[in-house]
Structure 1
Amino acid sequence: MSKSRKAPIGISGFPVAPFNHQNELDQEALKKNIEFLLEEGLESIFIACGAGEFHSLSKKEYETMIDIALTTVNGQVPLYTGVGGNLSEALEKAKISEQKKVDGYLILPPYLIEGEQEGLYEYYKAIVSSTDLNAILYQRNNAILKADTLEGLLDYEQVVGLKDGHGDMELNVELTQRFGSRLGWLNGMPMAEVTMPAYKPLGFDCYSSAISNYIPHISRMFNDALQSGDQDTVNEIYEDVILPINDIRRKGKGYAISLIKAGMNIVGLPVENTVRAPVAPVTSEHYEELKVILTKVLDKYPPKTRIINVK
């Protein structure tokens, strides 16, 4: 466990929770998912978070996923868990994460309730102060922090970053201008590659990549082009990969999760196109649309580290 009070930078990998057709966690598939991300050089791993269907995991499954991640990552990159939802459960998961000696956790929004700023402050404060782990606050849905509220939370040295999945660029400008390097800034928008060119000038130097679960070399190529100012490559990847996949993602509720599993299944990773309710699997029509895109993408941009055969 690192005591460095610094948020991850670069591309963050968010492994899925692979379920078999008996609705059980497939531990070997999870291990291969994490290995695949590490092979492509992703700079951090976030286990049992949104893409990992955090909301549907039992305590035992949550602990199992962390154990597999710890063994597989083995200190190569920072490892964060997901905590949040019901406050009591969030505190329990925070304690589990500390006991297992991960590097930190991403605090997801509280369940359903829309609280005032004072209530949000108390929610985050309770979790942040419950352990000594690094904490990244997730800005989205019913948990949108105003600048003064965030200022109060920065009294706790555990708070190392803010991840934005809300997309209010006026608020992002205000926050990054006010707090600057006091926090790490992570782009957590759905299909974050779409918005990363707008986030980068504000100081966001990290983003979660959904497509990294099945075409991580494209995530790397895109990020390298963005960082070096290679706008032609950025535009080309937008046209060939990011915008077509994002168009499918917007066709179904829950596709932020299930489309990842479909992509992984298409490229031959041992992940079934299965999710837990209320999320639904990708329809056969949209699955085939994604397959066509990935076939073209892998033909034009073949990965250097391994051979991928679309199935």
Structure 2
Amino acid sequence: MTTTRKAPTGILGFPVAPFTENNQLDEKGLATNIQFLIEEGLEAIFVACGAGEYQSISKEEYEAMIDVAVSVSGGKVPVYTGVGGNIQTSLEFAKISADKGADGYLILPPYLVAGEQQGLAGYFKTIAESTDLNAIVYQRDQVSLSVSALEALAEVPQVVGVKDGLGDMELNTILTQTFGKRFSWLNGMPLAEVTMPAFVPLGFDSYSSAISNYIPHISRKFYQALLDGEQEVVQDILQQVILPINNIRRQGKGYAVSLIKAGMEIMGLPVGETVRLPILPVEKEHYRELESILNKAIDLYPKNILVQSIKGDL
């Protein structure tokens, strides 16, 4: 555990919650997922968050997922957990995260209600101050944070970052230019590679990558090309891989989660396709469509060639 007051930068790993066919948490599958992400060079692990079906797991499963993440990471990368929804549950889960050796947590929006800006700031502040762990606040759904709300949170040392899942670029411009480096800025949009070209110029230096669960080398190549100004590479990967996958994601509510599991299955990283209600598995037609896209993607961007190229640059 670290008290360094800085959020992770780069590509962030969000492992899924693998379930067996009888709907039990598959801890071995989770460990494999996390180990894969670490070996592929992702800069942090965010466990039991959105991709990990935070809204559908029990307290016992939550604790088990943290144990697996902390054990597998072994201090090689920081481990963040998800907290949020019910504030009392959030406070309990924040304490669990601290007790189990996590480095921080991503604070999800409060459940159902919107709240005034002062109330939202109080919600995030109360959770963040409940432990000494780093906290990242997540604006999405009904939560859109104002300058005044972030001014209040800027006084809390534990709050190290703001993750955006709204995509309101006018608001993002105002917030990033008002607070600058006081916060780290994380892109949390669905399939964040789609919007990262617009986020980077504002100072966003990290994003949560769903596709890194199954094609991390392509996400890495894309992000590096974006940072290096290689526009042709960026556009090619967008057109050949990212936008086609995003087109499938947009066809089903809950696909932000279930499509990850489908992609992992296709790429030989079996975690099963079991998801918990109200999320549904990917439809067979969309599964076949994703399989075709990934087969083409691997032909265009073979992993072994990319790995050799990276090693050659070291």
TM-score in terms of structure 1 length: 0.97
Counterpart of 1:86 in structure 2 is 86
- Aligned-pair distance for 1:304? 2.2
Structure 1 unaligned spans of 5+: none
- Aligned-pair distance for 1:51? 0.2
Does residue 36 (structure 1) correspond to residue 53 (structure 2)? The answer is: no
- After TM superposition, list the pairs within 5 Å mapping 1:1-311 onto structure 2: 1-304=1-304
Percentage identity across paired residues of the two chains: 64
Structure 2 unaligned spans of 5+: 308-314
- Aligned-pair distance for 1:20? 1.0
Equivalent residues of 2:217, 2:306 under 8 A apart: no
Q: How many residue pairs align between the two structures?
A: 307
The C-alpha deviation readout for 1:75-133, integer Å capped at 9, x for no partner, is 11111000000011101000000111211000000101111112111211110111110
- Aligned-pair distance for 1:12? 0.2
Residue type of the partner of 1:142? Q
Equivalent residues of 2:214, 2:267 under 8 A apart: yes
Equivalent residues of 2:78, 2:103 under 8 A apart: yes
Moved over 3 A (4+): none
The C-alpha deviation readout for 1:218-268, integer Å capped at 9, x for no partner, is 111101101111111101100110000000000000000000000001111
Mapped partners of 1:144, 1:89: distance in 2: 22
Mapped partners of 2:167, 2:143: distance in 1: 13
Equivalent residues of 2:133, 2:158 under 8 A apart: yes
SS in 1 for 2:112: coil
CA shift in 2, pair 1:106/1:305, >3 Å: farther
SS in 2 for 1:138: strand
Residue type of the partner of 2:257? I
Residue type of the partner of 1:40? E
Mapped partners of 2:148, 2:115: distance in 1: 15
Equivalent residues of 2:80, 2:105 under 8 A apart: yes
The C-alpha deviation readout for 1:25-70, integer Å capped at 9, x for no partner, is 1111111101111111011110000000000010010000000000
- Aligned-pair distance for 1:306? 11
Equivalent residues of 2:7, 2:160 under 8 A apart: yes
